A and B are shown apart, each in its own frame.
Chain A
Amino acid sequence: MIEVENLTKYYNDFCAVDHIDLQIHAGEITGILGPNGAGKTTMLRMLTGFFEPTIGRIKVKDLEMPGDSLKIKSMMGYLPESAPLYHNMIVYDYLAYVGRIKNLAEAQIPGRLKELSDICGLAEIMHKPVSDLSRGLRQRVGLSHALMTDPEILVLDEPTSGLDPNQIAEIREIIKTIGKQKTIVFSTHILSEAEATCDRVVIIGRGKIVADDTTSNLKTRMAKGADITLALAHADPKEVTDLLHRVDPSLTVRRKNQADPEAVSFQIKSLNDKDVMKDIYLAIKETDWVITEFKRDSDSLEHIFHELTKEV
């Protein structure tokens, strides 16, 4: 669907996107993941034709930027970061204006706005000025803007940034619903968001692709080497350490301070590429110890992402 070849963007001497090759397939939800300043927004701006690349090619189906950029833009819906809208317009007028620019027939506009109002939950705010809307509501209006012509491709730049947890859940739900029929590319710097929404994750660090995999593979990869916290009641620390080493001799086991005097707590680290949680559980199941805590440390889950984007 979208083919990106050798895509590079320089701002004067600074290389924001560095020779990226990428293929995005039809019907896929692709998450572009990376820390702030990694080049995500620049990359999306080139995909949507807002910026021209310094070097490189962007092909969408059989069309190529910049020659066919108007045709490509009409196939795409784009929600820029923080959904910039015209503050002095009311929501209905704004969306009608977008519809006209995107070549919808005048007679089609009221019907399409009604549909979008249902999809994005805008019924209550259609008559309000954009300046009166909360950030979450503006994001929904921005999403309606992107969905106006029911485009094949949706490009969303950090669609949930700055929203509260309820608003994040709502926007994610909308993305997932519309993502069933569309090709979606969206950027985020939040790992869990990419995991929750995307089929495939592309991690970018300093303008380069550092990982490109399906979400499940990436999760497995992240699980490997992750720290595990284990707390047990009615257990002897030495016996626990012995048992853990019998499960996997390469495990590093470190005793942690535990608030509960009845329990002993450990930080476990696996040095090889195996996910050991299952084996540890099966081994403990054979004993009469009681598990009070058993989790993969979320910080460690972020660890690989951190390492990948740091080392470039």
Chain B
Amino acid sequence: MSRIKTIASKELKDYFTSPVAYIVIPLFLIVTGWFFFSTFFLYDRAGMRDFFTLLPMIFSFIIPAVTMRLFAEEMNIGSYETLLTMPVSFTEIAVGKFTAAVLFTGAMLLPTLSYPVFISFLGELDPGPVIGGYIGALLLGGAYCAIGLFASSLTRSQIIAFIIGSAICFTLTVMDRLLVLMPAGLASFVDFMSASSHFQNIAKGVIDSRDIVYFLSIMIIAVFGTYLVMKERN
């Protein structure tokens, strides 16, 4: 456990001692802020629904950019060898790096808490969907971090890791929009596999165990996949 903490805190510090945090967080805030507030005043509705509708799409590009370096950089500079020959297990490494990415996603979401505070001055804000939305955002962020981590473990090139990670996250994000094209039997399965439909359920303020199990399953499968890739490489 202490090694997971050591790895997570080192990786988290890395984000803030390099330009990554100072580029990604403002970029995330500008993009979400722009798209959310550009239509916010047109609807005359004190809510965050549009913000949470945007989130899966923005996360599917921002999070793989955050996670792409986690393994690819280590393999590229060779420190992967130094890390793996220390008394630390594959699981501890994978979970430590995953934790750092999730904490960074939390740090990225933190400034957006000012939006509901601001909106609550303009009108009556229903706290349920906002709280649900943030819980959902963390679960969605966690799932995409795990996918990004897995993509990073596959290659020593950060660009390729980003492309693989984005491709998987983007597919999970948009697949529910293709339901009209699917045969009825497949549609319910595709809808169940879609990250955005689970996320939108939680963002309505309804915390359903099926949605939580879905996101936790993605995290566990992707982190386990990372473990298997590390083992195979070894």
Contact flag A45-B78 (CB < 8 Å), given A70-B89, A98-B86, A101-B3: no
Nearest residue (CB) in B for A66 is B234
Measured in the bound complex, the distance between the Cα atoms of B18 and A185 in whole Å is 36
Most buried by B among A70, A84, A102: A84
Contact of B81 among A50, A52, A97, A101 (CB under 8 A): A50
Contact flag A52-B86 (CB < 8 Å), given A84-B77, A97-B6, A101-B6: no
Contact B18 A88 (CB under 8 A): yes
Measured in the bound complex, the distance between the Cα atoms of B88 and A78 in whole Å is 14
Contact flag A84-B82 (CB < 8 Å), given A70-B87, A97-B10: yes
> Chain B interface secondary structure, helix, strand, loop or mixed?
helix
Residues of chain A with a CB closer than 8 A to B38's CB: none
Residues of chain A with a CB closer than 8 A to B79's CB: 84-86
Residues of chain B with a CB closer than 8 A to A100's CB: 2-3, 6
Measured in the bound complex, the distance between the Cα atoms of B81 and A256 in whole Å is 51
Q: Which chain B residues in 169-220 approach chain A with CB under 8 Å?
A: none
Contact B6 A78 (CB under 8 A): no
Q: Which chain B residues in 48-105 approach chain A with CB under 8 Å?
A: 77-79, 81-82, 84-89
Residues of chain A with a CB closer than 8 A to B17's CB: 88-89
Say how far B187's CB is from chain A's closest CB, in angstroms: 43
Say how far B19's CB is from chain A's closest CB, in angstroms: 10
Q: Which chain A residues in 44-62 approach chain B with CB under 8 Å?
A: 45, 48-52
Residues of chain B with a CB closer than 8 A to A85's CB: 79, 82
Contact B3 A84 (CB under 8 A): no
Contact A78 B85 (CB under 8 A): yes
Contact flag A73-B6 (CB < 8 Å), given A84-B77, A84-B78: no
Say how far B198's CB is from chain A's closest CB, in angstroms: 36
Nearest residue (CB) in A for B84 is A50
Contact A52 B234 (CB under 8 A): yes
Contact B85 A74 (CB under 8 A): no
* B126 interface contact, C-beta 8 A: no
Measured in the bound complex, the distance between the Cα atoms of B85 and A80 in whole Å is 9
Residues of chain A with a CB closer than 8 A to B82's CB: 78, 80, 84-85, 142, 145
Residues of chain A with a CB closer than 8 A to B81's CB: 45, 50, 80, 84
Most buried by B among A74, A88, A89, A101: A101
Measured in the bound complex, the distance between the Cα atoms of B84 and A163 in whole Å is 25
User: Which bracket fits the contact residues of A?
Assistant: 20 to 34
Nearest residue (CB) in A for B81 is A80
- Interface flags for B1-27 (1: CB within 8 Å of A; 0: not) read 011001100100010011000000000
Measured in the bound complex, the distance between the Cα atoms of B232 and A52 in whole Å is 10
Measured in the bound complex, the distance between the Cα atoms of B78 and A45 in whole Å is 13
Measured in the bound complex, the distance between the Cα atoms of B85 and A77 in whole Å is 8
Contact of A50 among B2, B18, B77, B234 (CB under 8 A): B234
* A229 interface contact, C-beta 8 A: no
* A103 interface contact, C-beta 8 A: yes
Measured in the bound complex, the distance between the Cα atoms of B82 and A76 in whole Å is 12
Say how far B199's CB is from chain A's closest CB, in angstroms: 33
Measured in the bound complex, the distance between the Cα atoms of B188 and A201 in whole Å is 67
Most buried by B among A48, A85, A86, A98: A86
Contact of A101 among B14, B86, B234 (CB under 8 A): B86
Say how far B207's CB is from chain A's closest CB, in angstroms: 37
Residues of chain B with a CB closer than 8 A to A103's CB: 2-3, 87
Measured in the bound complex, the distance between the Cα atoms of B3 and A74 in whole Å is 13
Say how far A162's CB is from chain B's closest CB, in angstroms: 13
Q: Which chain A residues in 102-128 approach chain B with CB under 8 Å?
A: 102-103
Say how far A267's CB is from chain B's closest CB, in angstroms: 45
Nearest residue (CB) in B for A142 is B82
Measured in the bound complex, the distance between the Cα atoms of B2 and A145 in whole Å is 19
Measured in the bound complex, the distance between the Cα atoms of B84 and A89 in whole Å is 18
Contact B85 A50 (CB under 8 A): yes
Nearest residue (CB) in A for B20 is A88
Nearest residue (CB) in A for B7 is A101
Residues of chain B with a CB closer than 8 A to A51's CB: 234
Contact A73 B86 (CB under 8 A): yes
Known: A86-B77, A86-B79, A101-B88. 4 other contacts (CB 8 A): A49-B84, A84-B82, A88-B17, A101-B86
A/B interface sample: 12 pairs, CB < 8 A: A50-B81, A51-B234, A52-B234, A71-B87, A84-B78, A88-B17, A97-B6, A100-B2, A101-B6, A102-B86, A103-B2, A103-B3
The 4 A-B pairs of least Cβ separation, nearest first, read: A84-B78, A74-B87, A73-B87, A100-B6
Q: Which residues of A are in contact with B by a Cβ distance under 8 Å?
A: 45, 48-52, 70-71, 73-74, 76, 78, 80, 82, 84-89, 97-98, 100-103, 142, 145
